[in-house]
Amino acid sequence: MRSPFIISRLDRYVFGQLALGLAVATVGLVALIWLTQSLRFIQLIIQRGLSPFVFVHLTGLLLPSFVAVILPITVFIVTMFVYTRLTADRELVVMRASGMSDGLIARPAIAMAALSMIACSILNVWVVPASLHDFSKFEFQIRNKVAAFLLEPGVFTPIPGHITVYIQSRDKHSVLHGILIEDSRQKGQPATILARTGRLVAGPNGPEVLLRDGSREQIDPKTGRLNVLSFRRNLIDLAQSSTATDQAAPKTSEATIWQLFHPNPAQIPPATRRKWHAEAWRRLLTPFEVMSYTLVALLAVLRSPFRRQSGIIVLAGAVLGVMALVALGIGVDSLAARQNAMIPLIFVVAAGPALVCGVLLLRGARYARAQPA
């Protein structure tokens, strides 16, 4: 009997195939998801006239969240593929003939799953919230601060913060002509600002427009009269102040573990606090799905008899089983967000299959045998 504490050449051989397959599958799926998700930002980049580097930077901040979501699935796919190929090439038969039990044969995949669990935990707890927070700040900067500098002549350009700007033309010296600004930042007191010329300048909070020879028209809500104020020079801030954004509560996906467990009562209502508490436990417990899906794949391959038709049925059953676990996990997460008493179900769904499959895999020594031709 081989010692379970000695790393053999076969362990390194199988682990190398798993690592290579996991890297290729993860990169391929992440690239596919990145392409599909980044299409919604192409129009934003084109309309703003920004460089491709800005597009790559913006969408690149979403990559950690993609990896955290697909990592359990890619580990399952790679484990099933590698061990199915080992079975088809009779390599598992040789390993068993040399005295290796199913537990020793499964050891490289379990080691890969353990490393993936650690990576998934780091992504869920630290990397993904930080990257999504940076993504929101960068997107806000593009939509709010950068957008106003790229006003198109003859187009009504909405700017975040309830402002719409129209310019008739722009000359070669970047002077704006025929300016109309609809300012609705004050609720119930919209104002229309007209100016003959103007120029965009950089202010402390973002873009500002320096208007010349214009007027500000506003209806008095008390009297209903139209007040017209003429000016020779006026400076209008087009950027939405980031102070309110910084003081607002972060999104659930951007909050840290500490914020999720200890939300600010002044910012987070009780109903949202339940969602935050469930999200904190979800981040901590969902990495166990990696081990669960891996052991489902190992159980399907190592415990199924080596027959073409029955093997395909068992593998298809494993795929359907993992799909059912994914759907069940989504439902349990939603249920726990409404009722925190259901949070233990997150652990049951995430780690329960690993315990069950681990016991079945290590129980006895029922080896699959090929049907004689």
Rounded to whole angstroms, the Cα distance separating 155 from 157 reads 6
pTM for this entry: 0.76
- What pLDDT does residue 215 have? 92
Q: Among 36-50, 57-71, 186-200, which is the least confidently predicted range? A: 36-50
Rounded to whole angstroms, the Cα distance separating 323 from 347 reads 17
pLDDT band for position 150 (50/70/90)?
low
Rounded to whole angstroms, the Cα distance separating 343 from 147 reads 43
Average pLDDT over residues 37-46: 74
* pLDDT digit string, tens, across residues 88-141: 888 888 888 888 888 889 999 999 999 999 999 999 999 999 999 999 888 777
In angstroms, how far is CA 18 from the centroid of its own chain?
A: 25
Please give the helix or strand (H or E) that residue 165 lies within, else none: strand 163-170
* pLDDT digit string, tens, across residues 115-125: 999 999 999 99
